[in-house]
Amino acid sequence: MEEGARRREAYAQRQATALASAGDRSAAYGRVLRVGVPDFAHGVALYLDDVTVSFDGFKALNSLSLAINVGELRCIIGPNGAGKTTMMDCITGKTRPDSGTISFGSNIDLLRLAEADIAQIGIGRKFQKPTVYERLTVFENLELALAADRRVRAALFSKLSGEQLDRIGATLERIHLKDEAQRTAGLLSHGQKQWLEIGMLLMQDPKLLLLDEPVAGMTDEETERTAELFLSLEGQHSIVVVEHDMKFVDQLTQGRKKVTVLHEGSVLAEGVLSDVQANEKVVEVYLGR
């Protein structure tokens, strides 16, 4: 089993245990509320300020500052080793920075939360490799993901309500897998597995979605459909996409959205894609490798 899937399964199990001992759902709510409810009134979904991470003295992130607005779709590009994945690791609590600030909304200090809590308060992450439950059907994968939603945790132990079935149906449609609902996930194409994993994230209705190279290994057609999918999510979720495929970034940003270029752990340039691609410093770091 993939590491991510193992992690999820362990998590689902922990939730089940917590639920059984708590007796009902309100106790679980209480736990989330203690962590806090993010405040998005100022329009900022995610804020990184002066974040530095060193690995044996090497700075993977070097005083990185970045803000993502509520509902924004932001593409982050940069050569290999720029620190893109490390940035996501810091946001999700997998790696602790040496210094700096990371907040969710204007009030939640992510550096004080455990990885599982960060996922619970509405930050969903997709790793580079798809991590789905290969032996379950597409539908069952989504059902399990729904059960991890704090609002419907009890779903694991009861029949799905009409509303939950509708949510799964809507997600199946959105990720282009309606006709594959009863198929074993292991039999899907690589691209379809990626979509399924995105669907699983969507079942938890995250406020912020972090997607690391989501179209790597996809066919051109799958890549185009993925861009359409992300564009359809814009506004409802804040989305951070790390990607190398410039055609995909162009399709996502439509010549007007801001792209951030990371290099050596900090922001090298920001602007629309055509501008950053024409930027001398950016050209240099891409050609220099």
Give the footprint of ligand ADP on this chain (CB under 6 A): 55, 60, 78, 80-86
Candidates 13-21, 48-56, 81-89, 101-109: pick the segment binding Mg ion (CB under 5 A).
81-89
Of 78 and 206, nearer to Mg ion (C-beta) is 78
State how far the alpha carbon of 185 is from the alpha carbons of 5, 9, 141, 182, in Å. Answer: 13, 16, 8, 9
d(CA 271, CA 260): 7
Cβ pair 153, 25 in contact under 8 A: yes
- Shortest distance (Å) from residue 55 CB to ligand ADP: 3
Of 36 and 217, nearer to Mg ion (C-beta) is 217
- Shortest distance (Å) from residue 21 CB to ligand ADP: 35
164 near Mg ion, rule: CB under 5 A? no
- Shortest distance (Å) from residue 2 CB to Mg ion: 17
State the binding partner of 78 from Mg ion, ligand ADP, none, CB within 5 to 8 A by kind: ligand ADP
85 near Mg ion, rule: CB under 5 A? yes
Per DSSP, the three-state class of 72 is coil
d(CA 127, CA 85): 9
- Shortest distance (Å) from residue 86 CB to ligand ADP: 3
Of 55 and 157, nearer to ligand ADP (C-beta) is 55
Of 26 and 80, nearer to ligand ADP (C-beta) is 80
92 near Mg ion, rule: CB under 5 A? no
Cβ pair 94, 213 in contact under 8 A: no
Amino acid making up residue 159: K
Among the listed residues 66, 104, 137, the one whose alpha carbon sits nearest the alpha carbon of residue 209: 104
State how far the alpha carbon of 169 is from the alpha carbons of 57, 135, 175, 187, in Å. Answer: 49, 20, 10, 20
Of 54 and 279, nearer to ligand ADP (C-beta) is 54
